[in-house]
Amino acid sequence: MQNQIGKLLFKKIFAWYLVVAVALTLMQIYNEYQTHKSLLDNSLKSTAKIFSHSLSNSVWNLDEAQISSNTHTLVSLEDVTGVKIIDTSGEILALSGVVDTQETQQKKFLYKKEKVIYQDSLIQHSFDLKNVEFSKNILAKVTLYSSYDLIYTKMKSNVIFIIISAMLKSLALMLLFLYFSNKIITQTLNKLIEAIKEMGQGKKKSSVELSKIVENSEMKILLESFQEMENRIIEEDKVHLREREELYHKAHHDALTSLPNLVLFNDRLEMAIRKAKRNTSKFALLYLDLDEFKKINDTLGHFVGDEVLKSVSNTLLNTIRAQDTVARLGGDEFVILLEEINAKEDAQKIAQKIINSLNTPIRVNTHLLEVRTSIGISLYPQNSKYATELMKQADTAMYNAKNIGRNNYQFYAK
């Protein structure tokens, strides 16, 4: 009779253990999925911010080559599997990579159709491209796609650990339940629970201490397994922290040059405005666009063009001061934040220094290339006290520099 009761009690406890283990496993898998999906959504949003300006210029100018170049660059990113650009009339300007099947196959193509793969159930982020000069004028709609396979691939390596972790946590919960039931628990099991609690608080126990807690070899193995699980959790946390730091860096820096991108630059610009207001100081924005850079890409290829952009980035970093910021906006456009200047002549000296530095030819493999730049300058608070206006004013001044012959700098003037 006692054996039957013991077997029945064991079956019930084991059944509850399986239920709790499955529930914890599903919860941890769902949380892992939500974390990776959130990171992927944020990555698509950051990518949209980074490329919106360059895409707007190419669509506004109906530059097929630049549109194609931007879409190829986007699809080459780790988290982007496809790109679709549709203008306001419903014509497809660009379609590349893995895209959705909804309506796309019935759309009219304005340019030559790229090789694409159609697939259902994609993660997507859409945003409007607006005219640089008239921000209310919508030029086209861009949709960035990413695949759920990216999430599943990242989760695969953690599934076994999640299952083991859930099973061990469930076992700990069941042991605690048996402890509070106080019917079939033994003194050894009570000590085991205390040891688990201490391990959960980060208190390490040596093998000698474990042997004092329990004499049963199976219990020792169980305690040692908990210690191993604790160490693995700590290591996994370190790995996740490094991954988050890498994702943050990717979201705030240009993949090619490692310079700050538009997202990070806007943050620093807002901080500079607050600092200048507080200290009643001045700063300048330099907007750079490389002259005739498209010819390099068209004649020598994107590899040579990328090497030129890296060389220009290093030149700019060596030209500015330590407290200044240089960022790549996309394509061949750069922007520099010169903080705490005394007068416009300080910005003038830096601009001329950049032009002089870039006059030295750049060697890429067997090619010796001459690179020139046009620079537009806006001043705080002389021209404006707002970030968006300062950026537009520097951009306008840069186009003025191009219009009067290129390879020079111009200050913004109303």
- Paired tokens of 127: 């945003």
Identify whether residues 131 and 236 lie together within a single domain.
Answer: no
244 and 285 fall within a common domain: no
**Do 92 and 186 belong to one domain?**
no
Domain co-membership, 93 together with 10: no
What are the E-state strand segments in 100-177?
A: 108-109, 116-118, 122-130, 138-147
Distance from C-alpha of 132 to C-alpha of 396, rounded to nearest angstrom:
10
Looking at the structure of the chain, the number of domains it has is 3
Instruction: Assess whether 24 and 81 both reside in one domain.
Output: no
Q: Show which of 229, 250, 271 is a domain's final residue.
A: 250
Q: Is 48 contained in some domain?
A: no
**Are residues 339 and 398 located together in one domain of the fold?**
yes
Look at residue 8 in the predicted model and tell me its pLDDT. Answer: 56
The verdict on residue 41 lying in a domain is no
Confidence (pLDDT) at 223: 59
User: Domain containing 91: what range?
Assistant: 54-151
In this structure, the answer to whether residues 101 and 240 fall within a common structural domain is: no
**Tokens representing 285?**
């924005």
CA 346/CA 393 separation, integer angstroms: 18
Residue 379: strand pairing partners: 284
- Judge whether 42 lies within some domain: no
Where is the domain boundary, 188, 222, 250? 250
Q: How far is CA 286 from the centre of its chain?
A: 26
- List average pLDDT for each run of 10 residues in the chain, which is 414 residues long: 51 69 75 78 80 79 79 80 81 77 49 52 74 68 79 72 71 66 51 59 53 51 63 77 80 89 92 94 95 90 92 93 91 94 94 93 90 95 94 95 93 89
Domain assignment present for residue 257? The answer is no
Rounded to an integer, what distance in angstroms lies between the CA atom of residue 126 and that of residue 275?
A: 35
The domain spanning residue 276 has which CATH number?
A: 3.30.70.270
Which CATH number fits the domain that encloses residue 96? Answer: 3.30.450.20
Is the same domain home to 127 and 173? no
**What are the tens digits of pLDDT across the range 140-156?**
888 888 877 777 777 77
Q: Is residue 47 part of a domain?
A: no
Lookup result for tokens 């892992």: 32
Please tell me whether residues 267 and 391 are part of one structural domain. Answer: yes
| Domain boundary residue, one of 107, 122, 151 | 151
With respect to residue 98, please indicate whether it lies within any of the assigned structural domains. Answer: yes
- Residue 147 shares a structural domain with residue 210: no
396 in a domain, yes or no? yes
Angle formed by the axes of helices 387-403 and 262-279, nearest 10°: 110
The model carries a pTM of 0.47
Same domain, 336 and 390: yes
- Residue 44 domain-assigned (yes or no): no
- Residue count of the chain: 414
221/294 same-domain check: no
